[in-house]
Amino acid sequence: MRRRERLRVVANEAIGPYSLLRLERGGLEPGIPGQFFMLEAPGRPLPRPMSLCQAPPGELSFLLEAVGTGTRALAETQPGDELHVFGPLGNGYRLDVEKPLLVGGGIGVAPLPYLSEQLGNPPAILGFRSDWHAEAAVLVPNAESVVEPTLVTEPLTDLVTQRYKVLACGPEPMLQAVRELAPDAQLAWEAPMACGYGACYGCSVEIDGVLQRLCVAGPVLEAA
């Protein structure tokens, strides 16, 4: 059940170029891996959608990359600060998968630690822009990391022949490449969102020519 509460920042830890924002959980439920929360971005008119990264006891944590005004404001929060958080929202991954394989690219690793935990730490392939970015691989057990120019599709090409079922999150070009190799993959997409709960109609993504409101249809969609 989604709720909105003001949560206290426990810690804001740097992992490579990313920030792991740890919040007290309050009365919020962690939800299903792949679901997301709207986090108040201090000083900004709109909150920002963030998928849950980890759900340790009493906490919710979010991995973010300070690339815009909102994520920069979130990356600068200090322990003791309080933020309105609303969630969990949207549809997460289906977890009834026999032989899961996690695939993440860049900040798309964000939902994978919680997903990995819920699935019993299956193998994972992570792709990053640089060795510095690849420091985030420490969050995902059983992960093989590749750094550009090597792409996740390289190790993935071998593994999909072994009947692995792919659960992926990453930039759109990566998702498009993954679905070509693994047509039945579950893919977590990304779009700018104003509300996260179907109100604004702003997060529509065009997939195969069809527009879908990502916050209510996704963010996890079946590839096929």
Q: Which residues bind another protein (CB under 8 A)?
A: 4, 38, 40, 44-47, 68-70, 84, 86, 191-195, 197-206, 211, 216
Q: Smaller CB distance to another protein: residue 11 or 205?
A: 205
Q: Smaller CB distance to another protein: residue 107 or 203?
A: 203
Q: Smaller CB distance to another protein: residue 85 or 139?
A: 85
Q: How far is the CB of 44 from another protein (least distance, A)?
A: 6
Q: How far is the CB of 220 from another protein (least distance, A)?
A: 17
Helices assigned H by DSSP within the chain:
69-75, 112-118, 153-160, 172-181, 214-217
Total H helices, total E strands in the chain: 5, 14
Residue 158's CB is within 10 A of a number of other CB atoms, namely 9
d(CA 60, CA 72): 19
d(CA 140, CA 12): 18
Q: How far is the CB of 180 from another protein (least distance, A)?
A: 22
Q: Smaller CB distance to another protein: residue 121 or 212?
A: 212
Q: How far is the CB of 17 from another protein (least distance, A)?
A: 17
**CB contact set of 58 (below 8 Å; sequence gap of 6+):** 24, 25
